[in-house]
């Protein structure tokens, strides 16, 4: 919209009505409402037309009502008019009104405007008999336009409404100065626009007071400009620090130990850093271009290093997975070859070796590794299931042998404590012969029965040793000491037996019981020898 709109001297009623509606809309706006989206300069400010005195016009001091051009500043003739120029070409006169048209209507009353404000503004205006409208300023009286045929109040009202619109713009700007989203550019452009519009506007009102208000607003604008500059500098510093922190975090991710990085999480974090950078660049405060370029180079370099490290890590991982896959597939083939073997002991050892190699081969990838393990485990299960089935069948056959050996154990254990070594040894040899003839027992019972028999055999050996000690004069002197050592040993074994029984270790408990039985027998013999001596 143009800064200056020249109002013709002769206003038609339609023009008056339209002009009045625009002025009412502007002047009637509440000064305290200043939407950020609304430009303060959307409303036109009307400037007075140049008034030129034609040839043969009135004497000095008269003001003509004929407008010949559209320049903004009015010129009032205060000297005799110059000599007339060439007469205009005759032409068809333009009728002032269509036949039958009514005389111009007075302006519609401004019902939305404050009558007190209109009355106050009217003090600074005059209307001459010919409809010329003037504004009174400190520098004198200045014509702002002409409304021929209108009543003086209506003629002046048009220009008062324009003044009130201009006054509202100044009030809007005053309120806008305190807005948080105000920019320095908006301050300068709006203030410059208002000052330009107040040079010689075609309005009626207290223009000197309005200009003083704008002058005061310029001082406030300078303060607000400084405040905005300080806020912008603080926001710039904060944005710089925030952007620097983004770069430093990106560099930390880029330089992290690749073996310890959780790449999925780190990749999502890096994408978040990139989104934050873009958002700050597009929507945040601007920072120094040179420093921003330096930060971006660092950020871009960190992103490149991070991407290269990630690609290298997964490339190496793919190679490791491929190597592990080849190894595990070979182990699966070996396991499948062994699955039909019936050499139970040797093959079980071979499977233990395969399991150790499987663990050393490394992982392939969770889903694929699970599938490979299922194949390997299936081959093992086939072998061990067959072995367990064979053992169960064998154990069923050996149940009768177990009963025979348990009966022999009862007979053997009755020999302890040993009273007659010679008779005991002969009886034990008979039991051992029948023991060997009884054959194998179920695997789960082998250790139990064998340990019980070894305990009896150990007791006999200990008795032989004790007898030899008794018959050897050199050892009699040590008999007392040997008895003490045996008692101490028995006490220690009994503590070990209690611990084994508490832990449920049946095998170890049986071995300890046998050892205790043997040492007690030996102790009895040692004590007997000591008593005889």
Tokens for 404, please give them. Answer: 């025979």
- Select the more confidently predicted residue: 2 or 171: 171
pLDDT digits (tens, 9 = 90+) for 37-49: 333 333 333 333 4
CA distance 52 to 66: 7
Residue 165's pLDDT is 92
Q: Confidence class of residue 76 from pLDDT cuts 50, 70 and 90?
A: very low
Residue 475's pLDDT is 58
Which DSSP string corresponds to 193-241? HHHHHTSSBS--S-HHHHHHHHHHHHHHHHHHHHHHHHHHHHHHHHHHH
CA distance 237 to 252: 22
Percent of the chain with pLDDT over 70: 76
Kindly report the number of other CB atoms within 10 A of residue 292's CB atom.
Answer: 16
pLDDT higher than threshold 90 for residue 133: yes
Tokens for 498, please give them. Answer: 């209690």
Average pLDDT over residues 237-261: 89
246 contact partners, CB below 8 Å, separation of at least 6:
273, 276, 277, 280, 299
Residue 213's pLDDT is 92
pLDDT higher than threshold 80 for residue 530: no
CA distance 151 to 121: 17
Contact at 8 Å (CB) between 191 and 214?
yes
Q: Which of the residue ranges 212-216, 368-372, 382-386, 489-493 has the most confident prediction, judged by mean pLDDT?
A: 212-216
CA distance 103 to 220: 49
What is the average pLDDT value for the chain, to the nearest integer? 76
The bridge status of strand 140-146 relative to strand 125-127 is: unpaired
Tokens for 45, please give them. Answer: 């400010």
CA distance 533 to 530: 5
Percent of the chain with pLDDT over 90: 17
- Select the more confidently predicted residue: 83 or 12: 12
Residue 531's pLDDT is 66
Tokens for 346, please give them. Answer: 């040797």
Average pLDDT over residues 40-59: 35
pLDDT higher than threshold 60 for residue 231: yes
Average pLDDT over residues 476-486: 71
Element (H, E) at 338: helix 289-338
Nearest Cα residue to 4 out of 204, 214, 216, 203: 203
CA distance 13 to 15: 5
Residue 532's pLDDT is 62
Residue 210's pLDDT is 93
Q: Confidence class of residue 25 from pLDDT cuts 50, 70 and 90?
A: low
What's the pTM? 0.39
Strand order across the beta sheet in which 140-146 lies: 125-127, 132-137, 140-146
Counting Cα atoms < 13 Å in the Cβ hemisphere of 211 gives 13
Tokens for 477, please give them. Answer: 């002197």
- Select the more confidently predicted residue: 259 or 529: 259
Kindly report the number of other CB atoms within 10 A of residue 168's CB atom.
Answer: 20
Burial annotation 467-488 (CB, 10 A radius, 16+ → b, else e): bebbeeeebeeebeebbeebee
Q: What angle do CA 217, 116, 9 make, to 5 degrees?
A: 80
pLDDT higher than threshold 90 for residue 21: no
pLDDT higher than threshold 90 for residue 93: no
Per the document, the length of the chain is: 533
Residue 51's pLDDT is 36
pLDDT digits (tens, 9 = 90+) for 443-461: 788 888 889 889 988 988 8
For tokens 């040492």, what's the residue? 519
DSSP state of 133: E
pLDDT digits (tens, 9 = 90+) for 287-300: 888 888 999 999 99
């Amino acid at each position: 919209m143009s800064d200056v709109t020249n109002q013709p001297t002769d206003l038609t009623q339609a023009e008056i009505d339209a002009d009045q509606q625009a002025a009412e809309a502007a002047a009637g706006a509440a000064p305290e409402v200043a939407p950020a989206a609304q430009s303060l300069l959307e409303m036109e400010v009307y400037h007075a037309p140049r008034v030129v005195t034609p040839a043969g016009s009135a004497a000095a001091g008269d003001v003509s009502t004929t407008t010949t051009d559209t320049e903004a500043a009015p010129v009032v003739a205060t000297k005799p008019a110059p000599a007339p120029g060439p007469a205009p070409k005759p032409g068809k006169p333009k009728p002032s009104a269509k036949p039958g048209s009514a005389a111009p209507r007075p302006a519609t009353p401004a019902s939305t405007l404050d009558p007190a404000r209109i009355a106050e503004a009217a003090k600074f205006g005059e209307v001459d008999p010919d409809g010329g409208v003037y504004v009174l300023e400190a520098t004198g009286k200045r014509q702002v336009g002409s409304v021929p045929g209108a009543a003086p109040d209506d003629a002046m009202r048009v220009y008062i409404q324009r003044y009130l619109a201009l006054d509202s713009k100044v009030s809007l700007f005053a309120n806008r100065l305190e807005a948080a989203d105000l920019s320095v550019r908006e301050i300068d452009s709006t203030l410059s626009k208002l000052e330009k519009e107040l040079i010689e506007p075609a309005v009626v009102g207290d223009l000197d007071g309005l200009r003083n208000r704008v002058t005061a607003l310029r001082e406030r604008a300078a303060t607000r400009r400084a405040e905005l500059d300080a806020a912008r500098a603080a926001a710039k510093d904060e944005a710089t620090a925030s952007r620097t922190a983004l770069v430093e975090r990106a560099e930390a991710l880029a330089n992290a130990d690749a073996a310890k990085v959780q790449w999925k999480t780190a990749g999502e974090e890096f994408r978040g850093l990139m989104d934050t950078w873009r958002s700050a660049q597009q929507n945040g405060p601007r920072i120094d271009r040179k420093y921003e370029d330096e930060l971006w180079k660092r950020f871009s370099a960190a992103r490149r290093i991070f991407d290269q490290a990630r690609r290298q890590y997964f490339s190496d991982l793919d190679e490791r997975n491929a190597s592990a896959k080849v190894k595990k597939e070979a182990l699966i083939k070996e396991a499948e070859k062994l699955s039909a073997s019936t050499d139970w002991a040797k093959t079980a050892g071979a499977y233990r070796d395969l399991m150790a190699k499987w663990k050393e081969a490394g992982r392939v990838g969770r889903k694929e590794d699970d599938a490979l393990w299922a194949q390997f485990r299936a081959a093992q299960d086939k072998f061990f299931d067959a072995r367990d089935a064979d053992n169960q069948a064998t154990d069923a056959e050996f149940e009768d042998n177990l009963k025979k050996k348990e009966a022999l154990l009862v007979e053997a254990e009755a020999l302890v404590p040993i009273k007659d070594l010679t008779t005991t040894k002969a009886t034990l040899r008979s039991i051992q012969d029948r023991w060997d003839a009884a054959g194998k027992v179920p695997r789960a019972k082998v250790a139990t029965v064998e340990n019980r028999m070894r305990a009896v055999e150990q007791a006999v050996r200990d008795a032989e040793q004790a007898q030899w000690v008794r018959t050897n004069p050199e050892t009699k002197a040590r008999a007392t000491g040997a008895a003490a050592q045996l008692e101490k040993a028995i006490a220690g074994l009994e503590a070990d037996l209690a611990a084994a029984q508490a832990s449920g270790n049946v095998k170890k408990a049986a071995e300890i019981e046998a050892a205790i039985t043997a040492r007690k027998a030996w102790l009895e013999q040692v004590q007997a020898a000591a008593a005889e001596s």
